[in-house]
Amino acid sequence: EPEVTQTPSHQVTQMGQEVILHCVPISNHLYFYWYRQILGQKVEFLVSFYNNEISEKSEIFDDQFSVERPDGSNFTLKIRSTKLEDSAMYFCASRPTRTDTQYFGPGTRLTVL
């Protein structure tokens, strides 16, 4: 069964460094998402992406964040200058159509020191 994959599974970085989190959505899916879950808190929406542009973003998704689909298969989340409070599990998700289920990847745990 096709799955959303994410790499790396764990990323440790120093505050102020740039990080890029990688996702490979399911191949025939058209809508892509990033969510995050700070330890012990609820899963929060960051951004949705369709047709090579952002379709919706939350207040969390400020100018430090960007997303890209560089090659038609990967979907990346970049954090330009990481802060301690960016430490969280980041989930990528994809869906085939607007009305279908979102399928989540296993997550990347980001630790900012």
Q: Does 32 bind other proteins (CB under 8 A)?
A: no
Q: Does 104 bind other proteins (CB under 8 A)?
A: yes
Q: Which is nearer to other proteins, 53 or 71 (CB)?
A: 53
CB of 78 to other proteins, least distance (A): 20
- The residues in 44-63 that bind other proteins, with binding defined as CB under 8 A, are 44-45, 48, 55-56, 58
Phi, psi of 86 (to 5 degrees): -80, -10
How many residues line the site for other proteins (CB under 8 A)?
25
Tokens 């012990």, residue located: 40
Q: What is the 3-state secondary structure (H, E, C) of 33-97?
A: EEEEECCCCCEEEEEEEECCEEEEECCCCCCCEEEECCCCCCEEEEECCCCHHHCEEEEEEEECC
- Binding stretches for other proteins (CB under 8 A): 31, 33, 35, 41-45, 48, 55-56, 58, 91, 95, 97-107
